[in-house]
Amino acid sequence: MAERKMKMRTRMQEGAVEVQVLITHPMETGLRTDKNTKQKIPPHFIQKVTLELNNKVVAVMDVGTGISEDPLLGFRIKNAKQGDKLKVFWSDNQGESGALEEAVDIS
């Protein structure tokens, strides 16, 4: 199981805090064939992403195979402010998961 990196960025945008999360993940659909072995590449994709603000769930997203490799996901939160605690969790179809926690920084 490879270590999946995550990055988060926050900024003020149109009166709300915009959160962008980059997740390093292959996002394989199961439809591609390996050019060398001619075997199907097994599906490996993120299924669920959860966003928490100050330990309260504010968004849950069901994800599937229609998202590109290393997805960049964006959210806008109206009630967030400088220093609030953001957490992003994800899990995939092969049992891998990841999480990232950072403070809102709109300075």
What confidence tens digit (pLDDT) does each residue in 61-103 have? 999 999 999 999 999 999 899 999 999 999 999 999 999 999 9
* Stated pTM of the model: 0.91
* Per-domain residue ranges of the chain: 6-103
Pairwise CA distance, residues 70 & 27, whole Å: 7
pLDDT tens figures, 54-66: 999 999 999 999 9
H/E element, 75: strand 72-77
CATH class label, 6-103 = mainly beta
What six digits make up the tokens of 83? Answer: 């220093």
